[in-house]
Amino acid sequence: MNFFNKFGYWGNLDLDNDIYEEIELKAKELYNHIDDFIWLYDKLKDYRSKKTLYAILNNWYNYDFKTTAETREILYDCYFDLDLIKIEKEEVFVDLGAYTGDTILSFIENYGEDSYKKIYCYEITPDTFGILKEKLKDYKNIDCRLKGVSNKEEILYFDNKEGITSANSLDKEGNIKVETVTLDNDIKEKITMIKADIEGFEQQAIEGAQKHILNDHPKLMLSVYHKNEDLWKIARMIYNISDKYQFYLRYNSSPVYPTEITLIAI
């Protein structure tokens, strides 16, 4: 209950005060979109992905922890399943929600400093952005941009979440102003890989990168857990842009409630 109420992504849950929003929203998603979940299950390319989806939905429906424990990723770093993510000689990697550079450092550790041509990092929180630039200053060809990524260019805002700045998300109001861009307009060269963990703005980022996705077919590692619908809808969005993609599902978090769910599209 504390976890749900702290982050607010999935609805509140407070048994003492008869608040069951988190359960009601899960039930609504399953009832209204069971055909979409079946579609996704059929599109997933390996049994591990299929069981992962089953485990997540079983957790939603039954608060089951057994199947989530069985499918949790313990071998590979988050995003970089080495059986799936193969790199090119001149990788152009875009990290949306770069935070303090943890994903970029993981990428370099897994594939080496000579594995990329260019890396673009997008981050919205000024203090975090300073740490990001400092951590990555000794690596070549890394372009850090203090911008949000969405489906249009505009000014949005956020309130800095004390103690959980990694969960800062954009809105129409807030204390901190952020310029948002689209990837189609902000990056003109070919993109070969996109990772997105941007606190519920993944759908908008995909809409703003449709040309890159259609023309470049970058490898995609997309967080699909900030909204209940993300689990099926983001795969639908990618498939509607290009039906050439194959889908895989992995998650790396506590089995009690699966977060850090990544849709890998190749």
Query: Tell me, what DSSP letter sits at residue 265?
Result: E
What mean pLDDT is predicted for residues 134-155?
96
- 35 phi/psi in degrees, rounded to 5: -65, -35
pLDDT reading at 7 higher than 90:
no
Confidence bin at 161 (pLDDT 50/70/90): low
CB atoms within 10 A of CB 140: 11
pLDDT of amino acid 167: 64
pLDDT of amino acid 35: 98
Question: Is the CB of residue 13 less than 8 Å from the CB of residue 25?
Answer: no
pLDDT of amino acid 89: 82
pLDDT of amino acid 172: 83
d(CA 124, CA 114): 27
Inter-axis angle of helices 230-241 and 21-43, nearest 10: 40
Q: How many CA atoms lie within 13 A of 163 on its CB side?
A: 2
Strands (E), 90-238: 91-96, 116-122, 142-145, 148-149, 154-158, 176-181, 193-196, 219-223
Q: Is the Cα dihedral 53, 58, 63, 67 positive or negative?
A: negative
What mean pLDDT is predicted for residues 148-164?
84
Question: Above pLDDT 70, what percent of the chain?
Answer: 97
pLDDT reading at 79 higher than 60:
yes
Mean pLDDT, the chain, integer: 95
Q: Take residue 243 and report the two structure tokens written for it.
A: 């039906």
- 226 phi/psi in degrees, rounded to 5: -75, -30
Q: Which residues contact 238 (CB under 8 A, 6 or more apart)?
A: 206, 213, 220, 222, 245, 247, 263, 265
Interstrand relation of 154-158 and 176-181 (parallel, antiparallel or unpaired): antiparallel
Question: Is the CB of residue 265 less than 8 Å from the CB of residue 243?
Answer: no
Q: Take residue 115 and report the two structure tokens written for it.
A: 């594995």
88-120 pLDDT, tens per residue?
888 999 999 999 999 999 999 999 999 999 999
What mean pLDDT is predicted for residues 64-88?
96
- 233 phi/psi in degrees, rounded to 5: -70, -35
Q: Take residue 192 and report the two structure tokens written for it.
A: 């070969």
d(CA 187, CA 253): 32
Inter-axis angle of helices 21-43 and 47-62, nearest 10: 160
d(CA 212, CA 187): 9
d(CA 11, CA 188): 38
